[in-house]
Amino acid sequence: MKAIVIHAPHDLRVDEIAPAAAPAEGEVRVAISHGGICGSDLHYYHHGGFGAVRIREPMALGHEVSGIVAALGAGVTGLAPGDKVAVNPSRPCGVCDYCRRGQANQCLDMRFNGSAMRVPHEQGLFRAEVTLPARQAIRLSPGADLALTAMSEPLAVCLHAVRRAGGLVGKRVLVSGCGPIGCLTVAAARFAGAEEIIATDITASALAIARRIGADRAIDLAVDPAALTPLEAEKGQIDVVFECSGAPPALLAGLRVLRAGGTLVTVGLGPEVAVPVTQIVTRELNVIGSFRFDPEFATAARLIDAGRIDVGPMLTGVLPADEARAAFDLASDKGKAMKVQIAFAT
């Protein structure tokens, strides 16, 4: 069967690999329909990894997928062949201290599809079929749009970030960085009741999508680098900032516009930055990290399936698996692409 495999930087191949195994007890085999290309996939494609993580053996990419149940193992209930599903790529161990504390996203023995952190690597989901624990397959409605529900994983990241921020009803929110995670954070914040959402970026096309998905105001900092200065007045004008770019200047700007007692949620990963502790202390700012997700995945899948959060504006295009390299090249062009997907025959 087909799989999209990274062998080295820019050495992306559509390989023929062994068929997915027959599902054992408690497992399900899923025929993959759509898979979205994520920023981490692009890091593997261009650089062979990120930080200290490097590819040391061929690895199938992909962790944002949807599909159709092809077969069930013994004991599986709640699913049937032909069901549409969103596939959760996260497999916490369930027994470590963090899992027992309800912090499964911090699992000490986490397995995450499409990750080179372990050797052997955790193979990704850009494969024609995958066999995995049934709990990872979230059943969708018969009419679910499998292209849209393939965005359940990134939306889950954003729902977790919004949850970390606390209540947003009536709040003035700023989302810094309008890539896929930033735009989906805009949508999640709107769903959570934010009264006003301001989006910032340095790319006009990204800001246009942020507006379509729920931002009230879009600020192009490439055109007007000082546009946030008025929001710093009177100890800040923003209740909650979601920093999604990972850029140190954006994080520092986010701290400056927060009201006294406001909250900065760091979502994007980037280089280390010196934190202005004096500002944090004297204005009693809350700085909160947000990493991955856990129960939010099923919620994200159902919200997209029901049309309660419209992720349609995010989808740039869908290319067939045989054109995987072209899909990755398109996804790499931030001026043209927001979310590019690969389609497998189902």
- Domains of the chain with bracketed CATH: 2-151+311-343 (3.90.180.10), 158-289 (3.40.50.720)
- CA–CA separation, 116 and 127 (whole Å): 17
- Least Cα distance to 316 among 343, 337, 344 occurs for 337
- CA–CA separation, 330 and 312 (whole Å): 18
- C-alpha angle 295-268-334 in degrees, rounded to nearest 5: 110
- Cα torsion angle, 176, 280, 106, 138, sign: negative
Q: Are the beta carbons of 149 and 140 closer than 8 angstroms?
A: yes
Q: What is the pLDDT of residues 133-165, one digit of tens each?
A: 999 999 999 999 999 999 999 999 999 999 999
- For the chain, which residues score pLDDT lower than 50? none
Which residues neighbour 284 within 8 Å (Cβ) at sequence distance 6 or greater? 260, 261
Task: Detail the DSSP E strand segments found in the chain.
Answer: 2-8, 11-16, 27-36, 49-50, 53-54, 59-60, 64-72, 84-87, 90-91, 111-112, 129-133, 137-139, 172-176, 196-201, 217-220, 238-243, 258-266, 286-289, 315-320, 339-343
In the three-class reduction of DSSP (H, G, I as helix; E, B as strand; rest coil), residue 195 is classed as coil
Tokens coding 217: 């105001």
What is the per-residue pLDDT for 326? 98
Other CB atoms within 10 A of residue 105 CB: 20
What is the per-residue pLDDT for 50? 87
Tokens coding 243: 């920093």
- Least Cα distance to 219 among 191, 241, 234 occurs for 241
> How many secondary structure helices (H) and strands (E) does the chain include?
10, 20
Tokens coding 82: 């032909």
State the DSSP H helix or E strand holding residue 42, giving kind and residue range, or none if neither.
helix 39-47
Bridge partner list, 332? none
- Residue position matching structure tokens 């520092």: 252
What is the per-residue pLDDT for 51? 83
- CA–CA separation, 64 and 123 (whole Å): 13
Bridge partner list, 18? none
State the DSSP H helix or E strand holding residue 160, giving kind and residue range, or none if neither.
helix 152-165
Q: Are the beta carbons of 129 and 20 closer than 8 angstroms?
A: yes
State the DSSP H helix or E strand holding residue 155, giving kind and residue range, or none if neither.
helix 152-165
Q: Are the beta carbons of 293 and 156 closer than 8 angstroms?
A: yes
What is the per-residue pLDDT for 346? 62
- CA–CA separation, 156 and 259 (whole Å): 27
The two beta strands, 258-266 and 286-289, are: parallel
- CA–CA separation, 175 and 169 (whole Å): 16
* Residue 21 DSSP one-character state: P
